[in-house]
Amino acid sequence: MNDGRMTVLPDGRLSTLRPVLSARMREAAEMLGEGAFDEFFDATMRSLFVAGLQSAGAHEGTVWLLDHSRNNLVPRFNSGPNATDFVGRFRQTLRAGMISMVVATEQPICENEVHKNQRHDRALDKKLGLITCSMLAVPLYFAGEVRGVLSAVRLKRADGAVSDPAGFSPEDLRALQLTASVLSRLIEHELIGLSIGLEAS
């Protein structure tokens, strides 16, 4: 009797291929961290990320991926007006900065008054002439492990006299966490399709 639940049993013919598929996905995931992300991060993924940022009330956000050495986070996509100034160029060492803590702990952060926190690395702010006032950051998982970080920020210009924007709330953090969860699934779906030679529809 059908009780309305969907039950899909594993196909034994495919079980022997699992190690091969997992290894191939890890290889493909490494390529993303080395610069292949621009082509891979398609319109659907971009729209999802931007919608998540809007839901969280962020001014802009960044997809950071670990490089091959796993010593640095590299910005691979940014939704703001200064994206071309640092995406793919800047390196955030894992030895400093708040987003690096997210990789080390695999825990999200919701930090307001970021610019007053001694752990905040100001190198990118100085490069762009901005002050990061509030930040959300959550780990991004795919191919079996943490591969990067999604960050969302509220900013002000360093040369302005305006007051800080309002901080983020726990609800804003949950919105970004949901975005990271769905984005992880989309990335894995695409990696599986590429690994077995299927074009994503």
Share of the chain above pLDDT 90, in %: 67
pLDDT at position 175 over 70: yes
Mean pLDDT, range 64-76, rounded to an integer: 94
pTM: 0.90
Share of the chain above pLDDT 70, in %: 97
pLDDT at position 201 over 50: no
Express each pLDDT in 137-159 by its tens digit: 999 999 989 999 999 999 999 88
Mean pLDDT, range 80-96, rounded to an integer: 95
Q: What is the C-alpha to C-alpha distance for residues 117 and 185, in angstroms, rounded to an integer? A: 33
Express each pLDDT in 33-64 by its tens digit: 877 898 899 999 999 999 999 999 999 999 99
Strands 92-93 and 109-112: unpaired
Mean pLDDT, range 163-175, rounded to an integer: 94
Q: What is the C-alpha to C-alpha distance for residues 61 and 79, in angstroms, rounded to an integer? A: 6
Rg for the chain (alpha carbons), in Å?
19
pLDDT for the residue 197: 82
On average, the pLDDT of the chain sits at 91
pLDDT for the residue 2: 59
- Structurally, at CATH architecture level, domain 16-195 sits in 2-Layer Sandwich (3.30)
Q: What is the C-alpha to C-alpha distance for residues 135 and 109, in angstroms, rounded to an integer? A: 8
- The domains of the chain are located at 16-195
pLDDT for the residue 199: 63
Written as six digits, the tokens of 10 are 């594993």
pLDDT at position 1 over 70: no
